[in-house]
Chain A
Amino acid sequence: MAQVVVVTSGKGGVGKTTTTAALGAALAQTGQRVAVVDFDVGLRNLDLVLGAERRVVYDLIYVSQGNVKLSQALIRDKRLETLYLLAASQTRDKDALTDEGVAKVMGELRESFDWIICDSPAGIERGATLAMRHADIAVVVTNPEVSSVRDSDRIVGLLDAKTDMAARGERMEKHLLLTRYDPVRAGRGDMLNVDDVIDILSLPLLGIIPESEEVLRASNLGAPVTISNTKSAPARAYSDAAQRLMGEDVPMVFPSDRSGLFGKLFGRRAA
């Protein structure tokens, strides 16, 4: 059965788009059929991170308004044949997205994919609420700093209030993905540590993505980090997170401040 995942955070610049691309690619690498959908209408980026910016003909808005068929707008990744992109429009504004239009697109995507990963825009306005509306699972992307944590907390409140699942009286499955984690700075107290963030947000931990130049390099190459350098620390952390999303019990790796980022293995598991 198809799972709709929303990647959301409230705050901008914490790594939603990077995470959407990396998780989408990691899931597709296991043979799952994956569609990544950019909801950031007017500020689309997911096509760049996936290296598909020159191949966007039709976008989410065309499909949601019924102007083209879904299959015409989906862009298949050149490296992973089970990974598809539905881009956002760069020229329209987010009011062009309607609730009914998005519901229609999501319904069609559910018929042909195992995973639909929605990249939410920052903020708590219309674009963000539309991206989360139809989700079954939320991945809350948070940086280890107080403003990001508070914004994530706000988003968690909205996930329990403004989604279809909440309207049905169900509680959405939510996961915390800690990104840009720098163990050295956390050790010095310049950043919140993992326990602080989990304590405040009270969400099960999906993964900890270490701060790494690999992520920036991958974005500039137009490839998700899980494709560009599968051996890198962030790529492995994303692949582990994808496995956990699929329900597998993968031991949590805590980035340590040793020279090897994966030097320390704690006995903790993803909840």
Chain B
Amino acid sequence: MAAAAPQPSAATPPPSRSFKFHGRTFLAFVLKPEMPIGRWIDEADSWLSRSPGFFSAKPVVVDVSRLLLTKGKLAKLIADLGSRGIRVMGLLGADPAWVDADLPPVLTPGRAMEPETSRETCEAPAPVKPASSSLVIDSHVRSGQTLFHDGDLTIIGSVSSGAEIVATGSIHIYGALRGRVLAGADGNTAAHIFCRRLAGELVAIDGYYRMAEDFPSDLLEEPAHVSLEDGVLTIKALD
């Protein structure tokens, strides 16, 4: 960012607030080419012939930390990949001094993750998530028991102190909620928790949680409805 920012003159309107930015992490594929580059490109070609278009429209980062490259060779590698439909959005382990308009930006090392879709080709249909189901438990959930359900969960009974129930959808408890109850476990912010008596240790939706001491005191032992409103875990009376 060497360019000097234009000085606002008295004539220009005050800068609008629409220009904002914030940090965010994303998932990307990381390619690790190996020396010699020529052979690695051949292997990539044979792999791509089996899964053509696998990398198209996917974010790809190239890790060059194990390569001995000059800037010219690196530019050629990026161009070779580009001609195969692999658009490189960033570099790992490259010399920051090389970076200019021709080369993608250098990224600081991120966290390694298991690529979940590495065996799929782009022709393969995206895996259809099974429609989440409802589960009804016709008993109490006792202390020390844990329950996980992918979908909505209804308990016709109480959830004891020391019990934990987790669901990806909403959770309905027709008895007392005394344990730990976590709804929307895989990022479902629209999940809710309902209970006939709020006396729990912890309630959470999509990772936003509240401990018992933060529960509204007028709702203790009362019917309650827990939801996420604008990123705030809200506990209201259930009328």
A residues neighboring B (CB under 8 Å): 124, 150-151, 153-154, 156-158, 160-161, 199-200, 202
**B142 to A200, Cβ gap below 8 A?**
no
B144 at the interface (CB under 8 A from A): yes
**A157 to B143, Cβ gap below 8 A?**
yes
Query: Which residues from B are CB-within-8-Å of A157?
Result: 142-145, 163
Query: Which residues from B are CB-within-8-Å of A199?
Result: 176
How distant is the Cα of A199 from the Cα of B162 in the complex, in angstroms? 16
Query: Which residues from B are CB-within-8-Å of A160?
Result: 139, 142
Task: Enumerate 29 A-B pairs (CB-CB under 8 Å) in ascending A order.
Answer: A124-B144, A150-B143, A150-B160, A150-B161, A150-B162, A153-B142, A153-B143, A153-B160, A153-B161, A153-B162, A154-B142, A154-B143, A154-B144, A154-B162, A156-B140, A156-B142, A157-B143, A157-B144, A157-B145, A157-B163, A158-B144, A160-B139, A160-B142, A161-B145, A200-B158, A200-B160, A200-B161, A202-B140, A202-B158
How distant is the Cα of A156 from the Cα of B161 in the complex, in angstroms? 13
Please classify how large the interface on chain B is, using the bins under 10, 10 to 19, 20 to 34, 35 or more: 10 to 19
B178 at the interface (CB under 8 A from A): yes
Shortest Cβ-Cβ A-B pairs, 6 listed: A157-B142, A153-B143, A154-B144, A154-B143, A153-B160, A157-B145
Main secondary structure of the interface of B (DSSP, over half): loop
**B157 to A202, Cβ gap below 8 A?**
yes
Distance in Å: Cβ of B221 to nearest Cβ of chain A: 11
Query: Which residues from B are CB-within-8-Å of A158?
Result: 144
Query: Which residues from B are CB-within-8-Å of A156?
Result: 140, 142
Distance in Å: Cβ of B148 to nearest Cβ of chain A: 16
How distant is the Cα of A194 from the Cα of B157 in the complex, in angstroms? 20
Which B-chain residue is minimally distant from A159 (CB atoms)?
A: B142
Which A-chain residue is minimally distant from B160 (CB atoms)?
A: A153
How distant is the Cα of A93 from the Cα of B178 in the complex, in angstroms? 37
Which A-chain residue is minimally distant from B144 (CB atoms)?
A: A154
Q: Binary interface profile of B, 152-178, with partner A (CB < 8 Å = 1, else 0)?
A: 000001101111000000000000101
- A153, A157, A160: which has the most chain B beta carbons within 10 Å? A153
Query: Which residues from B are CB-within-8-Å of A150?
Result: 143, 160-162
How distant is the Cα of A160 from the Cα of B160 in the complex, in angstroms? 15
Which B-chain residue is minimally distant from A124 (CB atoms)?
A: B144
Which B-chain residue is minimally distant from A171 (CB atoms)?
A: B139
How distant is the Cα of A156 from the Cα of B160 in the complex, in angstroms? 11
Within 8 A of A (CB), among B164-206: 176, 178
Query: Which residues from A are CB-within-8-Å of B157?
Result: 202
Distance in Å: Cβ of B198 to nearest Cβ of chain A: 15
Within 8 A of A (CB), among B121-159: 139-140, 142-145, 157-158
- B143, B161, B162, B178: which has the most chain A beta carbons within 10 Å? B143
Query: Which residues from A are CB-within-8-Å of B142?
Result: 153-154, 156-157, 160
Query: Which residues from B are CB-within-8-Å of A154?
Result: 142-144, 162
How distant is the Cα of A153 from the Cα of B162 in the complex, in angstroms? 9
How distant is the Cα of A157 from the Cα of B157 in the complex, in angstroms? 13
Which A-chain residue is minimally distant from B142 (CB atoms)?
A: A157
How distant is the Cα of A150 from the Cα of B163 in the complex, in angstroms? 10
Query: Which residues from A are CB-within-8-Å of B143?
Result: 150-151, 153-154, 157
13 other contacts beyond A150-B162, A200-B158, with CB at 8 A cut-off?
A: A153-B144, A153-B160, A153-B162, A154-B142, A154-B144, A156-B142, A157-B142, A157-B144, A158-B144, A160-B139, A161-B145, A200-B160, A202-B140
